[in-house]
Amino acid sequence: MTAHDSVPEFCPPPPMSVRLDVEVVREEAREAVVFVRGELDRASVPLLVGCLRELLHTDGTDRTVVVNLVGTTFVDVGGMCALLEATGSARRRGSRLYLAGCSTQLVRLLHLTDLFDEVQVISSGRT
């Protein structure tokens, strides 16, 4: 993917009580990076799930989606479960979903729940 070809898209704005921003950048026809900023919790999960569902279920299979979590300040169990479900959905459709910029806390939670091997994490050195 090349940065100069990127076309950013924004998902619909969340309700005022939700502190999450999701930006989708499509750099190639079947590749996208989803930048997540804010708190990924029970209240904000539907926004991210909707965006990922649209990316993964539009125009067939064989997609690559990277969810960049560097801008997240908090990810709770509901957020983690949503990322796991999206990963499984991508796999079932013959696509790939990667997590980048995971916080130490999210990686620890994935290990504690024995779910780390269920996701594909791109190491970013974030601590």
pLDDT category at 111 given cuts 50, 70, 90 is very high
> Is the residue at 14 inside a domain?
no
Neighbours of 29 (CB within 10 A): 8
The residue type found at 77 is V
Rounded CA-CA distance 109/115 in Å is 8
Could you tell me the two tokens for 122? 């791109």
Q: What's the domain range around 34?
A: 3-8+19-122
Domain CATH number, residue 106? 3.30.750.24
Where on the phi/psi map is residue 100: left (φ > 0), alpha (ψ -120 to 50), or beta? beta
The predicted-structure confidence for 17-58, as pLDDT tens digits, reads as follows 568 999 999 978 889 999 999 999 999 999 999 999 999 987
**What secondary structure letter does DSSP report for 12?**
P
At 1-11, the pLDDT tens digits run 333 344 445 55
Give the model's pLDDT for residue 58. Answer: 79
Closest-CA residue to 42 (of 67, 75, 15) = 75
Domain assignment of residue 81, yes or no: yes
